[in-house]
Every structure is written in C-alpha cells, then in structure tokens.
Amino acid sequence: MTTISTGTTSTGTTSTSSTASTTSSTSSGTTTASTTGITSTGIGSGIDTASIVTALVNSEKAPKQAQIDKQTLVANTSLTAIGQLTSALDTYRTAVAGLNNATTFNGMSATIGNTSVATATVDSTASAGSYKLVINNLATSSKISSGVFTGKATTVVNSGTSAQDLTISQSGNSTKVSIAAGATLSQARDAINSAMSSQGISANILTDANGSRLVLSSTTTGDNTAITVSAASGSTLDSNLTTYTTQVAPVNASYSLDGIAMSSSTNTVAAAVSGVSIKLVAPTDSNGTTVTVGADTSTLKTNVTTFMDAYNALMTTMNTLTKVTVNSDGTTSGGGLTGDATVRHMVSAIRNQLVSSSNTSGITLAQVGVSTDPNTGLLTMTDATWNSAVQTPSQVAQVQALFTGKTGLLTSMTTATDSFAGSSGILAVRTTNLNSTLADLTNQQTKLDTRIASLQTTLSAKYNAMDTLVAQLTATSSSVMTTLNALNKASST
C-alpha cells in the first residue's frame, strides 16, 4: 500500500503545503491508465492528485502487463514458426509420396523409332531389349446407322399410344430403351443416350438433303462387339428405328513383334512385352518401327535429385527456424523455434533414416554419390560416383530398390515424419495449444483492464475526497485565524 502524507503549517495567516513528486510510467497493455482532461492540482491541497493516481495505477498494472506482453509475443512467434514448419513438412511429404512408386522412380524407359505410329511406357518389371513393331490395322469399334427419316429430326418414330421398347445389344448384353408414345427422332436419340451412356454407346443424328439418320457408336473396340438393335413383334416403332446398316465393323488390332503375329481387342497393348505398355496410334508399312527398352539413368537421376531437393528444403526451413544469430553488438537472437525439442526430434528422426541399415537393396546412399554436407547438413551428389553406380541394369534395379518399396528410403523417410504431420500430429496439437494460450492471454488482458479501470476509479474518488477535506480544513483554519486576529486587534485598542 502506498501512503501519501500532506502537511499544513500555520504562522499567522500564512499557510504552506508540501507537494508530492511522482514519476509516471506507461504500460503497453490494451488499456493505459490515464487521467485525460484532469491536469489541475488539487483545489484544497495543491497536490497533483491526478498524476499520483496515474502513477499508482500504472505501477499496479505494469508487472502483470509485462507478463502478458511477453507470453503473447512468445506464443505468436511460436505459432508463426510452427505454421511455417507445418507447411514445409507437408510440401516435403507430398513430394516424397509422388516419387514413391516403382513406375515413377523407374530406371528403365521405352523408346519408339516413329512416335507417330506408337508410344510406349514401362513399369518396374521391364527388362532391356529391342523389338520390331509392324502395325497392320488398329482395333475399331462398332458404328451403325438407321434408315432415312424424310421428316428429319422431328419425325415421329412411335406412332402408337403407349411407350415401346427398343432393344440395343452388344457383346451379349442387352438393354431396353423405352421410346415414349408420339416421340420424335430427336427424343428417341435422347432416350438412347440417357440409357446407354454408362455402357459406352451413344446416339447422334446426321442430316442431309434426303433426311436424317440415327447413328449409334460404341467406345468398345475389338471383334464380336457389334451393336445390334431390335424391337418386339408388332411394335409401333418406325421400322427405320430398328433397321441398321454397318458403317464401321469392329475388329481387333493386328500387329507383329519381331515377326510374331499378334492381335489385341484394344489399341493399348499391355502384355505383349513384359513390363512395357504399347499404344498403337496408326498402321505402319512393312518395315514397321522399333521399340527399344533400356536403362534411363537421366530420369532416375532426376528423381533422386527431386528427393534431395525436397529433403534440403525441409532441412533449410528447420535450420532457419532454429538458427541463433550473433548481432553486431554482441547479443544473440534466435529463430522462432530455437532450442525447440519438437524440431530436434524431427531432425533426428529424419536423419536417422539416411543411415538406416534396414533397406534390402544392398547399397547405401553414399554408394550412389549422395552424402550429407558437414557444414550445412544438406544432401549433395557426387556425379562421378553416381555415374559409376548406374552403369548396368542390375545396378539401376538396386538404386530403384534403395528408394522405393516397403523397405525403401522414401517409405522410411515418410514414416519418420508421420507422428508430426496430419490433423492429429504433434505440430497440429501444438498449434491448437498455442491458440488456446493466446485466447487465455486475451482473457487475462480483459480482466486486467477491468481491474485497473476499477482501481483508477476507486483511487480517484479517494484522492478527490481527501482534497475536498483539505479544502474544508483550510477554510476553517482561515476563518479561525481571521477571528483571532480580530480579537487581538480589539483587545489592543
């Protein structure tokens, strides 16, 4: 408790009062105690009571305000840093997941001599080899057209008084399409499309000077996939709607590999060469084209460096967030997560996988030229070591096994960060806790502002009452002295 003492000394009719000297401090809180508009000294005491109240209020508020400000700064700084780390981790995990399959991380590729007639891709089971491809014809799908409707698209195709079924069949599967009474050709087309779209059969109307035709097309290629159309005996459907001619007959693709005749119901040949998928685009002449499967060390290296870039980006973010900087004046300042245990654990979990012996590939990162820079902690590649490590198909297969699969590095590197990522991971939990801390600090600030405002009101009332009392006492003293002086004068005459 702070006590303010005032003294009044009387000598004759002269009154002298002491003045308190105070120092006012300003806090950085939401509400600053102030006495705006009250600048005059006390009427009765001559003391600047407004300044005294402000100093007392600010001294009461300052410790708690400093605590709230410090905790708020720390929480906001940590929250921002955790957000940056979460974003970097998500980017890293996405990049690694995109690489972690044998097809993407492949050390083999297929090359077509003439890409206008075919294209090819390979998977992890492909082996080196070269083949001569001759394409005789592509696989085709069924297309049929109806008779001519001279009334064109508005021709009524069901003259009966009830709906009639039009049966459309392909490859042993039949679907009945209901054609409403009085339906026109265009309405029949719409009914067919609605019923058959999921089966890959579509209807269109072609019109010329002679009239309109309904054309049915299929997306299914190969032998025995012709579209047929029929109606029940006695149907009221227009005969042109049930009578069709073949426009394109469905056939298998005919081709040969190294002189061996082959056939395919589709134009994508997935099993002719193990691990190689060939897409037939156009027929060739008798000379055909070549399909070459061989090691693709360039793409393999690109995938490895993509992994390295993802790793280095994450490590750079963590280094930045934990870095300690020595300032020009000799002081130090840290990043948003300097000394943070979560970051230390994450770095340790990830780096441990780089030297793990659980991989079944039989080789290590160092053997393919990938190592950790001792100064930066980032991954680097030695090209000479890499080149000597991928000279044969078996070496390429080892590199692929080193990175992909259940025991591959990409899987283990992802697993190492599982506990930190996701909506229930460590970083998400910390974000939730920090937001809760900030909400609590906001609540503390509100309570502090309310308490300080109440304290200021109370102190102002007390000091105003004191000042009024002093004024009253001064007035009484002056009256008494006046009376005594008058009596003294009267007695002396």
User: Which of residues 295, 311, 328 is at a domain's end?
Assistant: 295
Provide, rounded to the nearest whole percent, the portion of the chain with pLDDT above 70: 89
Ramachandran category for residue 40: left, alpha or beta (phi over 0 → left; psi -120 to 50 → alpha): beta
Give the residue, 103 or 44, on which the prediction is more confident: 103
What is the per-residue pLDDT across 371-397, written as a single tens digit (0 to 9) for each?
999 888 899 999 999 999 988 878 888
- Alpha-carbon gap, residue 99 to 102, rounded angstroms: 8
Indicate the number of domains in the chain. 3
- pLDDT > 50? residue 205: yes
Co-location of 325 and 417 in the same domain: yes
pLDDT classification of 358: cutoffs 50, 70, 90: low
Co-location of 127 and 191 in the same domain: no
pLDDT classification of 357: cutoffs 50, 70, 90: low
For residue 453, being part of any structural domain is answered with no
For residue 412 the two structure tokens come to 């283990």
- Alpha-carbon gap, residue 445 to 67, rounded angstroms: 10
Co-location of 333 and 203 in the same domain: no
Q: Which neighbouring-strand residues pair with 15?
A: 10
Co-location of 202 and 118 in the same domain: no
Co-location of 96 and 117 in the same domain: no
Give the residue, 45 or 421, on which the prediction is more confident: 421
Range of the structural domain that residue 284 is part of: 108-138+253-295
pLDDT value at position 43? 53
For residue 26, being part of any structural domain is answered with no
- Alpha-carbon gap, residue 144 to 204, rounded angstroms: 11
Mean pLDDT score across all residues of the chain: 86
What is the per-residue pLDDT across 210-229, written as a single tens digit (0 to 9) for each?
999 999 999 999 999 999 99
Co-location of 229 and 274 in the same domain: no
Co-location of 357 and 388 in the same domain: yes
User: Which of residues 407, 422, 437 is at a domain's end?
Assistant: 422
pLDDT value at position 338? 87
Stretch 473-487: mean pLDDT: 81
Please provide residue 206's backbone torsions phi and psi, each rounded to the nearest 5 degrees. -110, 130
For residue 475, being part of any structural domain is answered with no
Co-location of 167 and 258 in the same domain: no
For residue 312, being part of any structural domain is answered with yes
C-alpha dihedral sign at 142, 148, 152, 156: negative
The whole-model pTM stands at 0.59
What is the per-residue pLDDT across 10-31, written as a single tens digit (0 to 9) for each?
333 333 333 333 333 333 343 3
For residue 458, being part of any structural domain is answered with no
Co-location of 222 and 361 in the same domain: no
pLDDT value at position 355? 80
What is the per-residue pLDDT across 149-158, written as a single tens digit (0 to 9) for each?
999 999 999 9
For residue 448, being part of any structural domain is answered with no
SS3 content of the chain, % helix, strand, coil (to 5): 45, 25, 35
What is the per-residue pLDDT across 281-325, written as a single tens digit (0 to 9) for each?
999 999 999 999 887 888 889 999 999 999 999 999 999 998 887
User: Which of residues 229, 248, 267 is at a domain's end?
Assistant: 248
For residue 25, being part of any structural domain is answered with no
- Alpha-carbon gap, residue 345 to 326, rounded angstroms: 25
Q: Which neighbouring-strand residues pair with 207?
A: 212
pLDDT value at position 12? 35
**CATH code, domain carrying 146:** 3.30.70
- Asked which of 234-248, 251-265, 317-331 is least confident by mean pLDDT, the reply is 317-331
Query: Do 204 and 257 form a contact (C-beta atoms < 8 A)?
Result: no
Co-location of 417 and 305 in the same domain: yes
Co-location of 133 and 272 in the same domain: yes
pLDDT value at position 493? 63
For residue 444, being part of any structural domain is answered with no
pLDDT classification of 45: cutoffs 50, 70, 90: low
Co-location of 316 and 406 in the same domain: yes
